[in-house]
Each structure stands twice: as structure tokens, then as C-alpha cells.
Structure 1
Amino acid sequence: MPLLLYGARQVGKTYILTEFGEKYFDNTVYVNLETNFSVARYFDDDITPERLIRFLETTVNEEIIPDKTLIIFDEIQSCERALTALKYFCELAPEYHVAAAGSLLGVAINRGKYSFPVGKVESMTLYPLDFEEFLWAIGEERLAQEIRICFTDIAPMPEALHNKALELYHYYLIVGGMPASVSSFVKSGKLVLVPNVQNEITGNYVADMAKYADNSQTVKIRACFNSIPAQLAKENTKFQYKVIQKGGSAALFGVSIDWLAQAGVVLKCQRIEHANNPISVYADLSSFKLYMSDVGLLVMKSGLAQQTILTGESNIFMGAVTQNYIAQALVSNGYTPYYWTSEHSAELDFVIQKDADIIGIEVKKSAGTKSKSLGVFIQKYQPTYSIRFSEKNFGQSEGIQAIPHYAAFCV
């Protein structure tokens, strides 16, 4: 089946596909359907694979050989008919290797006037680099391996390595996982230059809003996006429409939030009051939190001073930053995160389902571990184990696994 690669803009979809083509195929035929209008228009008529292959060969002046050539349709969301064509590659020409990518595929599919190739494509999502990949990027592969070993054995890291990993984790909170941000940091070694790159990325997000939504909707999407730091700064971090605009409601802004989630710009974490298997059926669709898809973008957008993160000085917003980081790590590993409340007497940061296990997750911004919510959750549901993220070293006590923030990628 053709591969359909989802992901927010600038997470590296084009790069990873072209690298894949260079490494595993004799040649690669790359077409950007957003910039190459002549090819995009060709999809308006007959979209049988044989006709498309002939046209592509003449366009790129290169032979497309079954099993030897990788065909990449980039920015496929700008040509909805090309999405439909993937179905026919699957059914009529499975010998051709086709990969497609798009920054706003979720948006395009939901507004599409052409049929989506359900069951005829393999879908994958590319996320920003997680902390482990960040360690690889800065040449700390051995430290990443050591973190995985300690996680598996639930054994404390040597104190020197623990402190080093915490320091690099603080760097990651600032840099985040967007490839351009990480590349800037690797090349320059300077944290102070990273916000310039991040500003450009968020600028591109805003430009997409104007390009793929009408004017009135664009204003609402932008307002929702800009409100996220303020939403997370509240004592109750549940998303509230009145923060966007006085008198705001789901009727006014609901579609805009869905747009942001489908574009991969934000991560949605819905509320549950019952942590039973399967937890998805207990989700309250009207109550949710929104996190940024990349923690570095949140830090930049909030204006939180870099020295606050690096020195570990007390700051209320650091709790929101830490939660955003954990949400990002969970989603990258394929989990759908929820948060749990119990008749407004307790609230647990995250709950995930791993096979049949329902796992409660508590997030602490520093080394403190006192909290009643996780205890209430454990007493009520008797889970196999629970997780507490903090800056403390690895450990285990009374069914709670203590995991340092930097090991979130192991879960």
C-alpha cells in the first residue's frame, strides 16, 4: 500500500522520505504538489496509475521502475484528487512504491470533496524529535542507552550522569524537537539563537492558517493558538473558551480547535472521570486541555526566560512546561493521553492505557513528590503500577515507579 505520512509543518517529513529513497531505492521521483501546478492539474482528469506514471516520467525525464523507484508526492493536501489516486495505486499498480506527505492532511481530509482512500494506504505520523533523539543529535548516544538501561532495571543512575541528563533535559525544554531548532543548537551551541528559528516556524503555522481556512475562520484559529500559553498558566489548566474571548463558546471556537489538532499543531488531552478499560469510551469530549505539539515552541511563545529553566528557579509556569513535555513524549510513543478528575476532589495529570493496564501518571516540575491525587487514583482503581515523573532519580515504592523527566521517552 502507498504510505501516507502525517505530521505538522517542518517536523522533517520531506527530509526523511527523500533520505529513505536515497538509501533503499535506485532512484527517487519527487513532486511537490503545492509548487508544481502542472503536475497538480494533471490529477483533475483520469487518475489511473498507468497514465500518471507516463506523465511523471516525461515531467522529471526519468524512468520509473517498479520495485526500484520511490515516488514521493509532497504537500499532497493541496491536491485532494491526488489523495484519491493513492487508492488506484494500491488496487491497480501495487508494484509501484508510492509515499505521500502533507502538513495539513487531517484538515484536507475532513474538508475534502473527493473520497479518501480508506484501507488503501498505510498511515504513519512523524512527530518532533523526542529527548532520546535530541541526545543522539548532540552526540550523547551512550547517555541515551544508559537511561534506557536504568529505566528497564528501575535502577538509579549514577549521580553524575543523572545531573548531566537533567541539564540536557533543561536544554531540550528550550530547544524542543523541531529539526530546524535542534540543528541550529547543534551547529552553534547557542541557546539564545533558537527562538529566532522557532519564531519562523510559528510564523509558517500562522501562514498555513490563512492559506487553508477562510478569513473569519483564520482569525479564530489564530486566537485559539495564541491563547494556549495563557490556558496552561491558569491554576485550572482545562481549556476555557472565555480565555480566548469574553463570551467565547464551543460553537464559536470548536471548529478552530479541531483544525489545530488535525494540523498537528496542538495535542488534545481529554478528561475522564472513570479510569476503566477501555478508557477511550469514558472521555468527556467537552472537557480537555490543549498542549503545544513541541515544548520548545511553548517556551518561546510564552516568553519564559531561558535562565529560569536553566537555573531551576521557582516558577509556576514551569509546571505547565513540564506537563507539555510529558504529553509530547506520550503522544510520540503512540499513546492517547487523558487526564482524570474525581468529583473535583482530585485531578491526575495523565492517564494512559497500555494493553489492558490503565496507568496513572503524576508530573512534578522539580524533585518534590507530595501529592494526594495519585494516592486517590491508586486507592480507587488498584492499578498494576503508576508513574511519577520528577527530577528525582529512578526508584520504586508502593506500586509507584519514580521516573526522572529525561526518561519519559522510555515509557
Structure 2
Amino acid sequence: MKRMIEDKLNKWKVSGSRKPLLLMGARQVGKTYSCLEFGKNNYQNVVYLNFEGDMRLLHDIFREDLEPARIVQELSYYSKQAIIPEKTLIIFDEIQACEMALNSLKYFCENAPQYNIIAAGSLLGIAINRGKYSFPVGKVDMVTMYPMSFDEFLYACGKDLLLEKIKESFSSFKPLSAVYHEEALSLYHSYLVIGGYPAVLKTYLEKNDFNVVKAQQANIANAYIADMAKYSTPNITIKSTDIFNTLPAQLAKENTKFRYNIIKSSARSKDYELSLQWLKAANVVLESIKATEAKHPLSVYQEIDSFKIYYSDVGLLSYKAGIQPQDVMSNISSDRARGMLAENYVAQQLVAAGYPLNYWQSSGTAEIDFIIRIDDSIIPIEVKSADNVRSRSLSVFADKYNPDYAIRFSTKNFGYENGIKSIPLYAVFCL
């Protein structure tokens, strides 16, 4: 499965920065596989070390001083492989399980930059936020990996030609031929159910059975909850689980702004703030913050107490909401179900493409689902789950801010009319 992270890993290798690379991301997004493939294709050999797999021996290596020469010698003996500067890739997996290994990256950066090290972890964000951890600030390069975006999904499904046709239509803004358009929409609906976890997609391609997909998604959801119990206090675990389990109810509302009373009628923000921070730091959820003005930099105009929360993977939303795969595939789900899936999907694709998430509301009832900066303009994005695209919100936004153009994602084909670029939902990745 070709992943976008490969390009970032290659840039890191040739950059000459000589800093260890921290690869962050939620469980099951493909970090380990991508690191191993990168090592196999670009190095003479790979020394792979999992700090959750052999905790006693590995932790013992990092228990003394953090002198790189000694560590490399002992890791070489432990792995029964030579560790050659520039030619060996060292992978520290699940590094959040060993504080001293994380600290050692500082000394590798300063005293032994000839060793190429990638440190990966599913809960690095949590480890870094824990008070006892000393993070090697400025001594590492950091990259976050997300579930497969829709273009990666198409590539994994062997739809290379379709992928190129979508890119061509996006560039020319000419409608995609009906034969391609219909298949792309069908695959988009499949993606809403399957999502972007590589192992889930691999199983579906092998079994062609949505029941197996749901079983794997259940395992992933349960693994996230187990992590909450392992890496947080009992109080935060309970509340993080409550937030995680009630997100479908949040997203099914007409106004998808996060409301604490959806979790529990008596819930207050101060009671759940730490739990929400845990979920964000673990990359289990995505946050979109309200912008009071559509001006750049958007970060200056954020109203941090007004936000929306999405699952980091739309397939997980389908599973947690109990939406039947056949209803999504036949496009007969309720308007509300289709709407929340489409909005979560777009959020996921935008984040994978590197866009921060923000939304906008007028002083009245107008709301823009997402606003992003493209070149020097703040562009409004409206998400429609079908081809019924009537709305006044874009007009309200355009009258106030006069953007270069607006974007509307829907099931309609490519087109441009009255300052609005119509882009099919399957082409969000093209932005």
C-alpha cells in the first residue's frame, strides 16, 4: 500500500538535518509497516526494536547513561545485526513505553548524528504531555501519520487509472466522464464504511465481507479504550470513553458544535477538558475550532471554547454509529447519517492534506463547514452529502469576505458557476 508518508520519510533521509525522526499517529494507521518498508527500500539493513514487545531487556539498555556509542553497541548485540552509520535504519517502535529511550534521542542528535533513527509511537502525544517526560525539544524532526486518505485508498484498491482521471478533471475543472464518476462515487461510499485503517482495508479486499470489517473496527475501538485505561487515570479513562462513545450523537445534531450535555445532562467543560485533551493527543479524534473572522492568520481569530470533534477515521464513525454498510452503499441512509459521514470524511481528508480545521458562523444562522487558506485567500467549504446543494450560507460568507471563490463538496460532478467550485466528494484529496 503506497502511503503519502513515504515522501516525507524520503525527504527526511536526504535532508541532511541529522535529527532523529519522531513519527506520531494513532494505533493501526500503518506506522510500523511504513517504517519497515522504508528501511527495506532505502537501507542496507534495519534494526527494529519494539519497546512494548521486549520491555525488560530493551529498557535495561537505556537504564544507565545515555551515551550513544554504548547504546548502539548493546542494540547491535541484542539484535544480532551490525549497525552501520548511514547504512542502517534504527526503528524505535512504541517509544512512549520507555522514557529514557525518548530522552536518548537528544544525545543521538547532538553526539551521534551519523545514525539514522525513526522513533514511532501510537501514544507519543500522551507521553510528551505527561509531566515526568523530558522531551528532546529541537532535537528531533516530527511527522504525524493519519489513516489512509481516499487517494491512498484508491491506490490500494488498484484504481490507478481512476485516480489519474480524477486528478485530470480537478486540474481542468471539466466534468469527469460518467463511467469514472459513478465508480468513484461507489468507492467513496465504500470508504465511508471501511475507512482508512490499512489492516481493515486489506481484510475487506481479501474477504469482501463488511461483517469482517465491523469486527476489526470493533477491535480497534476496544484497543483505543484499553489505551485510555493503560495511559491515564481512572477518572480520565471513564470520561474519555464517554466522549468517544457519544461522538455519533454529537455529529448527528443539526448544529455539530461539541456540547458537553450530550455526554451527560449535568456535564461541564471543566470536568471533561483533560479527557478531551487525551483523545486529541492520542490522535483518536480531530478538532475543528470556530473562527470569528475569515482572515489570516486564522489562529488569531479562533474562539477556542467553540469547536467540533470528529473521529480521526470515518469508518470508525460508521461503526460506532451503528450505520448498516448496505444502507451506505445503496445511499439510502437517513439525511442526517449521510450528512455526518460526509462532514467527518471531509475533515479527515483535509487534515491528511495538511490543512488545520476551522469553521465559521455568522451572527445569524449562516454556517460554513470548513474554512481553509489557499494561497492568499480564506476559502469557504460547504459539504453536501448528496446533489441537493441549495444553501444561503455561502452567499452570506461571500457578501462579507469576498473570497476568490467558494468550494462545495457534494455528489455532483466537477463544475464552476457563480463563484462556486463544485467538487465531488471523492476529490477532496486534490486540494
CA deviation after TM superposition for structure 1 residue 54, in Å:
1.2
Q: Which moved more, 1:182-191 or 1:195-204?
A: 182-191
> 1:260-285 CA deviation, whole Å, 9 max, x = no partner?
01101000001112111111111111
How many residues end up aligned between the 2 structures? 411
Aligned residue in 2 for 1:39: 58
- Maintained 8 Å contact 2:22/2:142: yes
CA distance in structure 1 between the aligned counterparts of 2:54 and 2:294, rounded to whole angstroms:
49
Describe the SS at the equivalent of 1:57.
helix
Aligned residue in 2 for 1:381: 401
> Does residue 190 of structure 2 align to residue 171 of structure 1?
yes
> Does residue 46 of structure 2 align to residue 25 of structure 1?
no
CA deviation after TM superposition for structure 1 residue 398, in Å:
1.9
- Maintained 8 Å contact 2:414/2:424: yes
Aligned-CA RMSD value: 1.1
CA distance in structure 1 between the aligned counterparts of 2:77 and 2:333, rounded to whole angstroms:
62
Describe the SS at the equivalent of 1:377.
helix
Kindly report which structure 2 residues correspond to 1:267-286, keeping only aligned pairs within 5 A, or say none: 267-286=286-305
Counterpart pick for 1:69 among 76, 88, 103 = 88
CA distance in structure 2 between the aligned counterparts of 1:205 and 1:181, rounded to whole angstroms:
15
> Does residue 358 of structure 2 align to residue 335 of structure 1?
no
Describe the SS at the equivalent of 2:303.
strand
Counterpart pick for 1:311 among 321, 326, 330 = 330
Aligned residue in 2 for 1:197: 216
Q: Which letter does structure 2 place at the counterpart of 1:154?
A: F
What is the TM-score of this pair, normalised by structure 2? 0.94
CA distance in structure 1 between the aligned counterparts of 2:420 and 2:92, rounded to whole angstroms:
47
Aligned residue in 2 for 1:4: 22
Distance 1:331 1:365, change over 3 A: same
CA distance in structure 2 between the aligned counterparts of 1:24 and 1:50, rounded to whole angstroms:
23
CA deviation after TM superposition for structure 1 residue 307, in Å:
2.1
> Does residue 319 of structure 2 align to residue 297 of structure 1?
no
Aligned residue in 2 for 1:126: 145
CA deviation after TM superposition for structure 1 residue 63, in Å:
1.3
Moved over 4 A (4+): none
CA distance in structure 1 between the aligned counterparts of 2:364 and 2:283, rounded to whole angstroms:
30
- Maintained 8 Å contact 2:93/2:119: yes
Describe the SS at the equivalent of 1:192.
helix
CA deviation after TM superposition for structure 1 residue 246, in Å:
1.9
Q: Which letter does structure 2 place at the counterpart of 1:2?
A: P
CA distance in structure 2 between the aligned counterparts of 1:18 and 1:11, rounded to whole angstroms:
14
CA distance in structure 1 between the aligned counterparts of 2:101 and 2:242, rounded to whole angstroms:
32
CA distance in structure 2 between the aligned counterparts of 1:325 and 1:271, rounded to whole angstroms:
18
Kindly report which structure 2 residues correspond to 1:344-383, keeping only aligned pairs within 5 A, or say none: 344-383=364-403
CA deviation after TM superposition for structure 1 residue 35, in Å:
2.2
What is the TM-score of this pair, normalised by structure 1? 0.98
CA distance in structure 2 between the aligned counterparts of 1:265 and 1:314, rounded to whole angstroms:
25
CA distance in structure 1 between the aligned counterparts of 2:376 and 2:131, rounded to whole angstroms:
36
Kindly report which structure 2 residues correspond to 1:107-122, keeping only aligned pairs within 5 A, or say none: 107-122=126-141
CA deviation after TM superposition for structure 1 residue 131, in Å:
1.0
Counterpart pick for 1:325 among 322, 329, 345 = 345
CA distance in structure 2 between the aligned counterparts of 1:273 and 1:353, rounded to whole angstroms:
15
CA deviation after TM superposition for structure 1 residue 82, in Å:
1.4
Counterpart pick for 1:394 among 414, 418, 422 = 414
CA distance in structure 2 between the aligned counterparts of 1:402 and 1:3, rounded to whole angstroms:
39
CA deviation after TM superposition for structure 1 residue 191, in Å:
2.6
Counterpart pick for 1:104 among 123, 126, 136 = 123
- Maintained 8 Å contact 1:80/1:112: no
Q: Can you give the 5+ residue segments of structure 2 that lack an aligned partner in the other structure?
A: 1-18
Q: Can you give the 5+ residue segments of structure 1 that lack an aligned partner in the other structure?
A: none
CA distance in structure 2 between the aligned counterparts of 1:334 and 1:18, rounded to whole angstroms:
24
CA distance in structure 1 between the aligned counterparts of 2:167 and 2:399, rounded to whole angstroms:
30
